[in-house]
Structure 1
Amino acid sequence: MSGLRLFIGLLFGLVSLGVQAERLKDLVSIQGVRTNQLVGYGLVVGLNGTGDQTTQTPFTIQTFKNMLAQFDIQLPTNIGTIQLKNVAAVSIHADLPPFAKPGQVIDITVSSIGNAKSLRGGSLLMTPLRGIDGNVYAIAQGNLVVGGFDAGGADGSRITVNVPSAGRIPSGATVERPVPSGFEQGSSLVLNLNRPDFTTAKNIVDQINDLLGPGVAQALDGGSIRVSAPANVNQRVDYLSVLENLEVAPGQAVAKVIINSRTGTIVIGQNVRVQPAAVTHGSLTVTISEDTTVSQPNPLSGGQTAVVPRSRVQAEQEARPMFKFAPGVTLDEIVRAVNQVGAAPGDLMAILEALKQAGALQADLIVI
């Protein structure tokens, strides 16, 4: 309970600060200015016998033969089954940031798609990375950095730490083609709120218009705002530099109670309210014990000595007081009332769910 009270105390400290103004760049993103996902397929070589078992992964052999064919190397048809213990087929994925230009480098993640035990010590051969449109936007190659490892003994014992079948290559891909963003086109830009909210959208529009004049910003809906922008690209960059540093007070979030039933984590939002309700919480413990006694007959009775079971059933109910919620109870009062009866996080989940079912909890109850 001390940990729960400490968490609630910290939460109250944050709530007491009220709504703080945030930079516009933390609240919105610019339409068209976004990352793009890239994916590729290639080979990792140089493994220490931890590569694919090619009898079970024929695509590794096929890829290996295709690579050799590019260097005019043809394998004999009667070579039989090839075992490439030092080679693994892998998938590569990366995020292409906005405004990335040819020659710049990005980080990539390499993951085994066969049955390779470990990619530690391997090198990725040159692999094209494609976008959703099928075009090549980057070329990947380099030595892997693998955080996990896998080791085994001759008797079959094995130990694995973390995930050795995946790794990263910092700056492992070079951008070959830019992605058009449309940033320099048109006479306006659209700002998309990271969390759509009508109050936040109104505050942003008011803040921009107060700075630059009426009509510069217009709310399209609760999640988008159109802002007039200069036609010159250099001026547009300076213009957005000023806008993104504006301090805007965001609207308060919808009242929510988040429950993680697996970990027992409960997060209660600031605007959660409870209608009039009375709650009692307790626990009933039933204990059943089995004892045995020896039944001894009277002398000369002709009876026989026997073992007789004796059962004891005890029921104990922990006394917990009933507490009452008045109209419009706040987060502080909810937790104080629950702490008074000593409810653990698991019990608090049951109380909140019961309040929601009774229609007394004025918040969205979300179980994750």
Structure 2
Amino acid sequence: MKLIHAICLFVILVMPTAAAANPVRIKDLVEFDGVRSNDLVGYGLVVGLNGTGDGLRNSPFTEDILGNVLERLGVNVTGEQFRPNNVAAVLVTGELPPFARAGSALDVTVSAIGDADSLLGGTLIMTPMKAADGDIYAVAQGTIIAGGAAAAGDGAAVIQGVPTAGVIPSGATIEREITFDFSRLTTLRMALRTPDFTTADRIEQAINAEFDGAVAVMLDAGTVELNIHATHARSPAHALVRVENIMVRPERRARVVVDQRSGTIVMGEDVRISRVAVSQGNLTLRIQEAPLVAQPNPFANGETVVVPRTDVDIIEEPGIGLAEVNGGTSLSEVVAGLNALGVAPRDMIDILKSIKASGALHAEFIVR
């Protein structure tokens, strides 16, 4: 017996309340111009592996960098044949935080780029790390902490986690600072993480009220400009201390977000549904195989054959009929109207898709 059901994903409905509209600090709504991090990357070598390094026949670049390192250390390996299996070529990545100073430490991530089996127990040797401009800003070195484990035998292997990647806490030292003089700024732009004209206008009004003057102006839905001189603060940093902690109530578009993989539905409090009628039901398809074996008569010149026989049946389960959902004026009424249909939560995704297609769902519908 084969039983195939048309099954929808399980739905978890997250219902924001009025608390979602509570005021939020400006620092949690915007990015300040010039206050940003910079990505760093380097190409290095991990040594000290327990036979789990790169196979140098398949990763010739590992042999090249190992030879270069030994040459710089005064070891002449020109023309020598060496194939150790305790080294691995890696890429080292990190993030240079804003206002980082020379001598500070930062965390780095180490990832194998060859056919190494594991970086457990390895040590990253001195690796320069460059930014997008090609200049070296940090140097990384240290023992790798990998988050996985691997074990293998002649007939089987077990791998847990990702042993070919790891981190080195405080493994890089900043050698060069970003040339940016924040103290000389006369104006500062604030970029909203979620552009919205209403939110930008509220930020402008809140800042002007805090400084009791026209010190901020909204340029567009995603930018608010602050006049540092007009704040009469001792420095741009002192002005931002007051600005970033101002409370603002953000506005947002009505959205319904559906994650089909996990079956999750998230609805914003501004979602509205017009008056609409909905009918829903499920189909169950049953397929039963009952093959028949046909054999020839005794002493007859024939052969045994199998005659396929399939019984197919489609059953329509009782649906909810045609039910009416009144227009919702709030999220609670929208949810109450959908729940009044009496359908299981797993069917809610298909219902919302159909309501959106009919034009009765007044919200941005996002499917992930």
Q: TM-score range by the shorter chain?
A: 0.7 to 0.9
C-alpha distance in 2 between matches for 1:313 and 1:263:
30
Q: Is the 8 A contact 2:270 2:330 kept in 1?
A: yes
Q: Is the 8 A contact 2:285 2:314 kept in 1?
A: yes
1:215-234 to 2 correspondences below 5 Å? 215-230=214-229
How far has the Cα of 1:312 moved from its partner? 8.2
Encode CA deviations 1:227-282: one digit per residue, 9 max, x unaligned: 1114999632222111111111111x111111112221111121111122100111
Report the TM-score, using the length of structure 1 for normalisation.
0.86
Match of 2:62 in 1: 60
Q: Which moved more, 1:16-25 or 1:139-148?
A: 16-25
User: Alignment RMSD, CA only?
Assistant: 2.6
* Aligned residue type for 1:285: T
Q: Is the 8 A contact 1:32 1:182 kept in 2?
A: no
Q: For this pair of structures, how many residues does the alignment match?
A: 345
Encode CA deviations 1:266-306: one digit per residue, 9 max, x unaligned: 1112111112210011123354557799xxxxxxxxxxxxx
C-alpha distance in 1 between matches for 2:58 and 2:69:
20
Higher relative contact order (CA 8 A, sep 6+): 2
Q: Is the 8 A contact 2:149 2:163 kept in 1?
A: yes
Runs of 5+ unmatched residues, structure 1: 294-306
CA distance change for structure 1 residues 196 and 323 in 2, over 3 Å: closer, same or farther? same
C-alpha distance in 2 between matches for 1:330 and 1:322:
23
Match of 2:274 in 1: 275
Q: Which moved more, 1:58-67 or 1:16-25?
A: 16-25
CA distance change for structure 1 residues 36 and 169 in 2, over 3 Å: closer, same or farther? same
Q: Is the 8 A contact 2:320 2:343 kept in 1?
A: no
Q: Is the 8 A contact 2:233 2:239 kept in 1?
A: no
Match of 2:357 in 1: 357
Match of 2:133 in 1: 133
C-alpha distance in 2 between matches for 1:288 and 1:72:
75
Encode CA deviations 1:26-63: one digit per residue, 9 max, x unaligned: 11121011000000000000000000000000000000
C-alpha distance in 1 between matches for 2:159 and 2:290:
49
Match of 1:162 in 2: 161
* Aligned residue type for 1:264: G
1:327-342 to 2 correspondences below 5 Å? 327-342=327-342
CA distance change for structure 1 residues 311 and 250 in 2, over 3 Å: closer, same or farther? closer
Match of 2:170 in 1: 171
C-alpha distance in 2 between matches for 1:247 and 1:235:
22
* Matched position secondary structure for 1:323: strand
Runs of 5+ unmatched residues, structure 2: 1-9, 293-306
1:241-256 to 2 correspondences below 5 Å? 241-251=241-251, 253-256=252-255
How far has the Cα of 1:151 moved from its partner? 0.8
Encode CA deviations 1:46-87: one digit per residue, 9 max, x unaligned: 00000000000000000011111112222152x33x322110
Indicate yes or no: 2:72 matched with 1:37.
Answer: no
C-alpha distance in 1 between matches for 2:157 and 2:318:
50
Q: Which moved more, 1:193-202 or 1:158-167?
A: 193-202
How far has the Cα of 1:112 moved from its partner? 0.2
Indicate yes or no: 2:83 matched with 1:83.
Answer: yes
Match of 2:300 in 1: none
Q: Which moved more, 1:334-343 or 1:350-359?
A: 334-343
CA distance change for structure 1 residues 292 and 132 in 2, over 3 Å: closer, same or farther? closer
Indicate yes or no: 2:131 matched with 1:121.
Answer: no
How far has the Cα of 1:319 moved from its partner? 3.4
C-alpha distance in 1 between matches for 2:180 and 2:242:
21
C-alpha distance in 2 between matches for 1:26 and 1:319:
46
* Matched position secondary structure for 1:184: helix
Q: Is the 8 A contact 2:325 2:338 kept in 1?
A: no
Q: Is the 8 A contact 2:45 2:88 kept in 1?
A: yes
How far has the Cα of 1:225 moved from its partner? 1.0
Encode CA deviations 1:152-193: one digit per residue, 9 max, x unaligned: 12x231110100000000000000111123422331111111
Indicate yes or no: 2:203 matched with 1:204.
Answer: yes
* Matched position secondary structure for 2:90: strand
* Aligned residue type for 2:360: A
How far has the Cα of 1:360 moved from its partner? 1.1
C-alpha distance in 2 between matches for 1:168 and 1:108:
6
C-alpha distance in 2 between matches for 1:316 and 1:249:
49
How far has the Cα of 1:315 moved from its partner? 3.2
Match of 2:3 in 1: none
* Matched position secondary structure for 1:25: helix
* Matched position secondary structure for 1:68: helix
